Amino acid sequence: MATKTLFLSDSSQITTVSPIPNITGVSFFSHLHPPTRQHYSKWTVTLTSSFANPPSLSTDVITITDATTSDGLPHPDPVFVLYATLSWYFHLNTPTNPPLTLGASRNEWAVIIDRSGLFAREEALAAAEQAGLILLFESATPDGGLVPKALKRAFWQISYPFMKMPSPVVYTISPPAVRHPIRPRPARNLYRRHVPALNAILTFRLAKLEDAPLVNKWMNTPRVAAFWNEAGPVTKTAEFLRKNLEMRHSFPVIGSWEDEPFGYFEVYWVKEDILGRYCEAQEWERGLHVLVGEERFRGSQRVAGWLGGLCHYIFCDDPRTQRISLEPRVDNEKFIQYLQKEGFAKEKEITFPHKQSALMRLTREAWDGPSV
């Protein structure tokens, strides 16, 4: 048996004990409080598959049973239990079976949720469907009814356990005569996710004026200064941050690995941004500016982690956002390659007054989830 840990939040940890080397069979799940090791609940997951080395793309079945609280009562929240279970499942290695024939169609990665155990009751199944964790598909056999499945692509678009409702649609007009929805202010703490591939917690938070010395250090490194043109004294950086914090369509972000800051980012609404004057912009399209300041947090694996995390945050922040855009300088070839690996595609080049940019775009439909 092998033990794995997945952190959902500062106060929420999932520990699994699963068979090895093959994960089919029974796995035992515990939900506990990391600092105190106090147990909240436990449950059992049985994974069955028609393939010898799961996960498979579309034949796996998950059955959840014996879900109880620490005092032995039935678990009151089947949605959380399923979310935690799917977090474990979709962090497994990407299926490699069956072998693909060149040019053949390929199924989406999906797992069937058994209608016994925790989901024997229609109320539990309906709650999971309403939360977006499962979708109902017609059975391949006659009179087979509806089959509940969880899709990887859909799972990563679920904001649970963050649960943020989109803002109401009320329009305003900003200079120069841009009609757009009124944008809500960002939260202080934007995102937190355990990245098992790096065994590290990735967080994004709203930047503060107190971050000026840190951002100034990054802006004055030759590598960053060549692209951002913001080198100078700390007073210049403080003014730069102040202006960005006052913007309504954009906000500055600090990214951290294990609470150690590594980069500065800007998340913005494309329609009101200068980019919106050079291309067609959707109502809820978001854009990104990125800067990795700490040398030891550079590299392809780290980029995959934080870039996937930013896309994950944006797509979960508002379900109406269907596209993310970046406009890196055309000579930033290495970063453009990173974007393409994440699923971004080059739409065209844009001639700004200050740079020649490649317009890189990622659609929600094309996004397969963050790197795990």
Neighbour-count burial of 71, counting CB atoms closer than 10 A to its CB (0-12 exposed, 13-18 middle, 19+ buried): exposed
360 and 339 in contact (C-beta within 8 Å)? yes
CA distances from 6 to 36, 85, 122, 163, 196 (A): 16, 10, 29, 19, 7
347 has catalytic annotation: no
Instruction: Read off the amino acid at residue 371.
Output: S
Contacts of 311 by beta carbon, 8 Å cutoff, 6+ apart? 324, 342, 362, 367, 370
Residue 191, classed as helix, strand or coil, is strand
| CA–CA–CA angle 321, 173, 237 (5° rounding) | 75
50 and 59 in contact (C-beta within 8 Å)? yes
The distance in angstroms from the start CA to the end CA of the chain is: 22
Backbone angles phi, psi at 270, to 5 degrees: -65, -35
CA distance 311 to 119: 31
CA distance 183 to 248: 7
Q: How many CA atoms lie within 13 A of 328 on its CB side?
A: 20
| CA–CA–CA angle 75, 80, 83 (5° rounding) | 135
CA distance 16 to 4: 5
94 and 106 in contact (C-beta within 8 Å)? no
Neighbour-count burial of 224, counting CB atoms closer than 10 A to its CB (0-12 exposed, 13-18 middle, 19+ buried): buried
Residue 165, classed as helix, strand or coil, is coil
Q: How many CB atoms lie within 10 A of CB 243?
A: 11
Q: Which of 123, 327, 342, 349 is catalytic?
A: 327
The set of catalytic residues is 327
